Amino acid sequence: MPDSAPKSEVLSEIEQQLVSLFADGVRVAGLPKSIGEIYGILFISREPLALDDLVVRLQISKGSTSQGLKMLRTLGAIREVEGPDARRNYFEADLELKKLVGGFIREQLRPHLKSGDERLKRIEDHVKAEEDPEVREFYDLRVKKLERWSKQARLIFPLLQRVLGE
């Protein structure tokens, strides 16, 4: 059994700074710090890392790490690759901004927008049932406005993708 490459247990100054930068960075997207840390250390690592490496180097629990990796995988922000020890799963960061943003839109933004539209539909029904025509008219205006917003949001996504296509 090859005593597989023992990664340094402490982060270099640069690694620390970068990990912390990402940790804060992902918060604007509403993601937990640990996700940023994991992505960050993978981003700055020259070779792929396995779960245990992350646990040791970032000093976070196995649980968090496992969950973080799952999320990052579904976002398409990291990918699984082969590594020195055949029975572990190794990961490396995907560096295409387009892909990261795309994953975020697909997994976080779109679902919200969708459920919002559904709720809006239900509100529309209530509006139809409003007695007072003046009030109904007003509510209808507002609902229409929201529908327009939703449509604009949907328009923006593909545009974003295109602009980020280098």
Provide the binding-site residues for DNA, judged by CB under 7 A: 27, 30-35, 50-52, 59-64, 66-70, 85, 87-89
Residue labelled with tokens 């402490």: 10
Q: By CB under 8 A, tell whether 7 contacts its own copies.
A: no
**Please, what is the minimum distance in Å from the beta carbon of residue 126 to its own copies?**
5
Cβ nearer to its own copies, comparing 12 with 61: 12
**Please, what is the minimum distance in Å from the beta carbon of residue 111 to DNA?**
15
Residue from 60, 127, 147, 154 binding its own copies (CB under 8 A) = 127
Q: Can you tell me the distance from the alpha carbon of 137 to that of 155, in angstroms, rounded to the nearest whole number?
A: 27
Q: Can you tell me the distance from the alpha carbon of 119 to that of 121, in angstroms, rounded to the nearest whole number?
A: 5
Complete DSSP assignment for 75-93 = HTSEEEE--SSTTS-EEEE
Q: Can you tell me the distance from the alpha carbon of 150 to that of 146, in angstroms, rounded to the nearest whole number?
A: 6
**Please, what is the minimum distance in Å from the beta carbon of residue 71 to its own copies?**
16
